[in-house]
Amino acid sequence: MGRGAAPRGDEGALLMVARAEAVAKEHGLTPREGEILLELVRCDSYEEIVDALGIARSTVCTHAKKVFEKTGAHSRHALTLLVAFGIRPTRASKADERGEARPGRAAARAKLDHGHREERGPGRDTCGSPRSRR
């Protein structure tokens, strides 16, 4: 396996667990948050995490929120990069830190706020409330 290559098979699974534990320790995650971190990387949906750990979806969402806050990751993809390859999440831009909208974002938000949500399709698998279909 080359440097930075993704691990495969049983060896890869064990390596992923070890990497997730190291990330959890480095970022001060609780043991349960560490479990959630690993499941966020391994599972395709929050429902799979609920089934794997036997806890309520709201509990998964609460722990996931803490994992994202403590690691600085902004997405599950960023968490996967952090655990699998040690690639750290990038910091927000100076405009984001000042609370300024980036060009194009305001127009996109305005379009969504004016009744065009049906173009977005059904709700995604996230911890927020599901989007309604119109």
Q: Which of 2-6, 26-30, 52-56, 103-107 has the lowest mean pLDDT?
A: 2-6
Q: How many CA atoms lie within 13 A of 119 on its CB side?
A: 7
Cα 13–14–17 angle (5° rounding)?
Answer: 90
Q: Summarize pLDDT for 20-33 with one digit per residue, the tens.
A: 999 999 999 999 99
Residue with more model confidence, 28 or 116:
28
Owner of token pair 């995604």? 124
Name the architecture of domain 9-85: Orthogonal Bundle (1.10)
DSSP SS3 for 120: helix
Classified as helix, coil or strand, 53 is helix
How much of the chain exceeds pLDDT 90, in percent? 53
Inter-residue contact 44 to 69 (CB < 8 Å): no
Q: What is the mean pLDDT of the chain?
A: 77
Q: How confident is the model at residue 81 (pLDDT cuts 50, 70, 90)?
A: very high
- The residues spanned by each domain of the chain are 9-85, 92-120
**DSSP category for residue 30:** -
Torsion sign across C-alpha atoms 46, 32, 62, 95: negative
